[in-house]
Amino acid sequence: MYASAAGAKELLEDCRQRLTDILTCDPEDLVFLSGATEANNAVLAHFAAKRGKVAVSAIEHPSVREPAAGAALIPVLVTGHACLDSLHILLTGSDPPPMVSLMAANNETGVIQPWQEALEMCRRKGIPFHCDAAQWLGKLPAAGLGECDFLTGSAHKFGGPKGVGFLKIRGPFRWLKGGPQEERRRAGTENLPGIAAMVAALEAREAALAAQLPGPEFRNAFETLVQRSIPGTHIVAVTSPRLWNTSLLVLPSHANVKWLARLSRMGFEVSTGSACSSGGGASEVLAAMGLPEDALRRVIRVSALPEHSEEDWLALAAAMAEVHASLRDTDKAG
């Protein structure tokens, strides 16, 4: 009942309104929470526990796949796309899933997924559709994503702080109990500074995207250079539409950790997988795409910020050529 609390409440609801303006959905359908992992768990665990065998793509983040225990998997094609023919078969079968989950863009390959088509297919059947848009938001315009029945977003993927995100939901369900916050759907004091920073970050990215949509030219020039200087390098899903900032490479020789250590000493921060799955062994996404076991240990993933210039991309390509030469020299010496 005191002024500072009222001010905080006002700011919270202002943030909710501004976020829904970007997503074009109703403020009542938006819940603030700790990030994409919590959002995905809330939706998938709810459906898997209450309504049974949900359908998720084989390339979903573990925070979708694990709570969807026993889910029907929508396979992935060699192009890195979830297979819509398989989704069609699931939706028109005798026991259709109670909900479907397909991400907007993949966190490892960057491949843009056919979420609009999947949403339409589900809508025709009256089946709720969830989209994990953690990788899409802030890199491509958010327009249309608010149409999904359930939508996941995470602030640190678009320049906001870690530990805050949102979930657009439809229907009455609760996953954290013990408080009145967020209409009792997600109890616990809201992270207001994080929420305010998240909304400001997404607004800034949306404005920048509206002014100029980044293209894949710098990334493509980098890939061409790497393929030229390191023969035998395979670019995963090279012909598929991908996020402009992501490149996933299978190098011809040496374990990826050797490349990473050398590149790190030269000031380049690349990873063996997406930030949230690196360090956890071989990539399940690439295994689902049919990459052989030995290739999985030679994978490195590069992802850029909007601030990165063409020079940055080309400097990384030059550094990789240097690492390639130094690894060869070490082999010869050995």
Q: By the criterion CB under 6 A, which residues form the site for ligand PLP?
A: 35-37, 61, 63, 103, 107, 132, 134-135, 154, 165, 274-276
In the chain the first and final C-alpha atoms are separated, in Å, by: 74
How far apart are alpha carbons 302 and 234 in whole angstroms?
Answer: 14
> Would residue 80 be called left, alpha or beta, if left means φ above 0 and alpha means ψ between -120 and 50 degrees?
left
Minimum CB–partner distance for residue 327 and ligand PLP (Å) = 29
Place of tokens 């954290």: 176
**Of 156 and 324, which has the nearer Cβ to ligand PLP?**
156
Write down the least CB distance from residue 132 to ligand PLP, Å.
5
Known catalytic membership, residue 276:
yes
Element (DSSP H or E) covering residue 17 = helix 3-23
Closest CB to ligand PLP among residues 63, 233: 63
Structure tokens at 158: 């678009």
Output the smallest distance, CB 276 to ligand PLP, in A: 3
Please, what's the b/e burial string for 265-287 (b: 16 or more CB within 10 A of its CB; e: otherwise)? Answer: eeebebbbbbebbbeeebbbbbe
The least CB distance from residue 165 to ligand PLP, in Å, is 5
Query: Which residue number, 165 or 194, has a Cβ lying nearer to ligand PLP?
Result: 165
Residue nearest to ligand PLP (CB): 35
Neighbouring C-beta atoms of residue 50, cutoff 10 Å:
9
Complex with ligand PLP: residue 86 or 274, whichever CB lies closer: 274
Conformation bin of residue 24: beta by default, left when phi > 0, alpha when psi is -120 to 50:
left
Catalytic residues, by residue number, are 276
